[in-house]
Amino acid sequence: MDRGDGSIKYILSGEGAGIVFTIDDTTGDIHAIQRLDREERAQYTLRAQALDRRTGRPMEPESEFIIKIQDINDNEPKFLDGPYIATVPEMSPVGFSHLSPSGTSVIQVTATDADDPTYGNSARVVYSILQGQPYFSVDSKTGI
């Protein structure tokens, strides 16, 4: 019904209206007016309505829509339980792995990532050792 002549006024309400999101009251274009962080809030529910600018009467029923914030890889994995301390008896068997379970498991480390695990690989954690080879190794998937 919008003929582009400015006779319709658009209004926005709901979560973050006027604070996080704004609407151009002539065109109905919605813009984010502050930075969005999926880890702070994953989605917003907004409502928009088109009113006759002269009478203030609704031109159609209010529309509700959900804005979902798409994740990016903006968080690094963190070891929540560190620093880890472990002991190994001398002369312990070497070569622990899933293929050779007879070796000695020293400790299992666990890291978490705040990014969305359902979107891309942003939250995927891969373990590796930076120092200590060839005496120690880590399973890249389990952290053992």
Are 63 and 100 within one domain?
no
For residue 98, tell me if it sits in a domain.
Answer: yes
| Position with higher pLDDT, 44 vs 90 | 44
Looking at residue 98, which CATH number applies to its domain? 2.60.40.60
Are 114 and 97 within one domain?
yes
pLDDT of residue 80: 86
Condensed to tens digits (0 to 9), the pLDDT of residues 41-83 reads 999 999 999 999 999 999 999 999 999 998 888 889 999 887 9
For residue 2, tell me if it sits in a domain.
Answer: no
CA 120 to chain centre: 10
Q: What are phi and psi of 5, to 5 degrees?
A: -100, 5
pTM for the model: 0.63
Q: Report the alpha-carbon distance of residue 115 to residue 83 in Å, rounded.
A: 22
Condensed to tens digits (0 to 9), the pLDDT of residues 96-121 reads 555 555 678 899 999 999 998 888 88
For residue 49, tell me if it sits in a domain.
Answer: yes
pLDDT of residue 96: 57
Residue 108 DSSP SS3: coil
